[in-house]
């Protein structure tokens, strides 16, 4: 696939999994380094003297950000890679917080000798604004009231998340990013970085996402939020910290999980398998029902319902063209080398959305993650993601 742009003729490379078998061997088998035990850090990026104005109105006088870093920032401050997390993710992208604990969500990609090689890169991962893993959000204490913000936390957008990240990077001494990388909601942040701060983004990697949230994705989020709101324990978001609306949040998670996978993935894993007779009931008569219930319980134990509502609203507001003009002109202005990754079985963000990015970005190549697992493939098919990411950074990302 090829096309012209404001910068003249361009070459779009369509990478496939079979192209990089040798690269995969180097990415996976030759390197199994870990960043080891890591400690999350917290830094303030807004104060009454330097508040954070929000895109949709209002401001926050206090914003703390929880983040992790891997590797060392070089003297010029330009070897940094910003890794952006998805909806229920956190700053914990790599390593472990203690012996025997679960590694970070992208641990196979971040470490010595891995695709994001910390011997070369200073990798930064932060929890987003509005999150519930240490960065200011609905679970944080409102200094004005001394109570949790809860439903009173102001509405925020992906652009606000990027502004918080910019402030964080400024405080860390990061100048120009070698790359900004993200999948799903993380991909929204990566795209916003490239559109808002093109002078600071050396290269862009956007995985399983489009230029704007579709009616399909907005509708799914709306159903999930209604499930949360219908829980009697929700109380309009004013629930007690020890009385989370677990049923509603669990149902929201079940809805999302069905869109994160594909027909083939769920059929192969569960089919029509049933639970043992003594366990049968409305919630767990089939293995798939038991799985969805389990996923809902797990999320309710580690996440917050108001946070889920706020983050999904921010995702629905995602639109690169909003306030900037026609989308084609916005994409044409994002001239940095870009890698767009799509997943053929992704029903949440289908490949047509990545193709639109590919056609509009002046210097883009395409990589397909071949997997039966749907949208979640970027969190499952680590060897493929590592091979494509490594090659792109080696060939296109400037130092």
Q: Which of 20, 346, 371, 373 is catalytic?
A: 346
Residue 107 appears among annotated catalytic residues: no
Residue 285 appears among annotated catalytic residues: no
Q: Which two tokens stand for residue 243?
A: 């009385």
- Strand 59-60, strand 141-142: pairing: unpaired
Q: Which two tokens stand for residue 159?
A: 């652009």
* DSSP state string for 316-360: HT-BTTTTT--HHHHHHT--S-EEEEE-TT-SSS-HHHHHHHHHH
3-state DSSP call for residue 42?
strand
Angle at 389 between CA 198 and CA 162, to 5 degrees: 35
Alpha carbon distance 209, 184 (integer Å): 5
Nearest to 153 by CA among 251, 52, 243: 52
Q: Which residue has the tokens 């999930």?
A: 224
Residue 98, H or E segment: none
| Cβ(253)–Cβ(289) below 8 Å | no
- Strand 122-126, strand 63-70: pairing: antiparallel
Q: Which of 34, 184, 290, 371 is catalytic?
A: 184
State the CB neighbour count (10 A cutoff) for residue 330: 20
- Measured in degrees and rounded to the nearest 5, phi and psi for residue 144 equal -75, -30
Nearest to 87 by CA among 322, 316, 297: 316
Alpha carbon distance 50, 156 (integer Å): 18
Residue 184 appears among annotated catalytic residues: yes
Q: Which of 92, 318, 373, 375 is catalytic?
A: 375
* DSSP state string for 270-324: TTT-B--GGG-STTTSBHHHHHHHHHHHHHHHH--HHHHHHHHHHHHT-BTTTTT
Task: Supply the residues annotated as catalytic.
Answer: 184, 346, 375
């Amino acid at each position: 696939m090829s096309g012209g742009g404001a910068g003249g003729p361009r070459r779009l490379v369509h990478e496939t999994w079979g192209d990089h078998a040798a690269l995969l061997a180097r990415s996976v088998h030759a390197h199994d380094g870990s960043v080891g035990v890591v400690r999350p850090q917290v830094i303030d990026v807004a104060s009454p003297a330097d508040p954070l104005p929000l895109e949709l109105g209002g401001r926050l006088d206090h914003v703390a950000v929880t983040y992790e870093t891997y590797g060392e920032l070089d003297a010029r401050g330009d070897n940094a890679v910003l890794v952006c997390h998805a909806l229920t993710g956190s700053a914990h992208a790599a390593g472990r917080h203690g012996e025997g604990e679960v590694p970070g969500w992208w641990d196979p990609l971040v470490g010595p000798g891995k695709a994001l090689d910390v011997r070369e890169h200073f990798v930064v991962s932060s929890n987003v604004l509005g999150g519930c893993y240490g960065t200011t959000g609905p679970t944080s204490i409102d200094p004005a009231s001394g109570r949790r913000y809860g439903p009173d936390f102001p509405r925020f957008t992906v652009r606000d998340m990027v502004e918080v990240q910019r402030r964080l990077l400024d405080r860390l001494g990061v100048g120009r990013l070698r790359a900004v990388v993200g999948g799903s909601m993380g991909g929204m942040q990566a795209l916003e970085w490239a559109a808002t701060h093109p002078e600071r983004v050396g290269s862009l990697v956007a995985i399983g996402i489009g230029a704007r949230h579709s009616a399909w994705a907005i509708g799914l989020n709306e159903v999930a939020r209604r499930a949360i709101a219908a829980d009697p324990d929700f109380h309009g978001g004013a629930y007690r910290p020890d009385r989370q609306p677990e049923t509603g949040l669990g149902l929201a998670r079940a809805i999302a999980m069905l869109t994160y996978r594909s027909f083939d993935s769920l059929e192969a894993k569960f089919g029509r398998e049933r639970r043992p007779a003594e366990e049968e009931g409305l919630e767990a008569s089939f293995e798939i029902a038991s799985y969805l219930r389990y996923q809902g319980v797990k999320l309710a134990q580690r996440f917050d319902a108001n946070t889920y509502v706020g983050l999904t609203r921010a995702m629905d507001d995602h639109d690169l063209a909003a306030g900037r003009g026609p989308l084609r002109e916005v994409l044409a202005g994002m001239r940095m080398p870009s890698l767009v990754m799509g997943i053929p079985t992704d029903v949440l963000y289908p490949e047509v959305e990545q193709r639109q990015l590919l056609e509009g970005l002046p210097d883009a190549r395409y990589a397909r993650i071949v997997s039966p697992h749907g949208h979640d493939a970027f969190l499952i098919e680590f060897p493929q993601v590592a091979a494509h990411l490594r090659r792109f950074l080696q060939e296109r990302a400037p130092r």
